[in-house]
A and B are shown apart, each in its own frame.
Chain A
Amino acid sequence: MFTPVQAIGRLTIGYVRNLGRMGWFILYSLYMIVRSPGSPVYILKQMRFIGTKSLFVIVLTAAFTGMVLGLQGYYTLAKFGSEGMLGTAVALSLIRELGPVLSALMVTGRAGSAITAEIGIMRISEQIDALETMALDPFKYLVTPKFVAAMISMPLLCAIFDVVGIYGGWLVGVKLLGVNPGAYFYEMEKSVMWRDVYSGMVKSFSFGVIIAWIGCYKGYFSGPGAEGVSRATTESVVLTSVIILVWDYFLTSILL
Chain B
Amino acid sequence: MMLRAGFLTKLTMRTMLVAIALCLATAGTSVAADTAEVDRYVERFNPDIFQLDENGKPVHEMKNAFSSPASDIAQDVATNNWFNLFVFMPFLILPQILLLVVIFKFRDRGDGRKPATFMTNHKLELAWTAIPCLALVIVSVPVWELLYKMELPPTQVDTNNPDQATIVKVTGRQFAWDYEYKHENISIGTDAAGLQEPLVLVLGRTTLLNITSNDVNHAWWVPAYGVKKDAFKGRYTNTWFTPTVAGVFKGNCAELCGPGHGIMFISSVVVTADEFDVYKSLQRHRADTFKIWNQLQRGAGETASDADLKALVTKYFEKDASDGRRFALRYWIAANFASLRRKPQDRALHDDVIRTFQSKRDQLEQLIATVLSSPKPVASAE
A and B interact physically: no
| Interface residues, chain B, with chain A CB atoms under 8 Å away | none
| Interface residues, chain A, with chain B CB atoms under 8 Å away | none
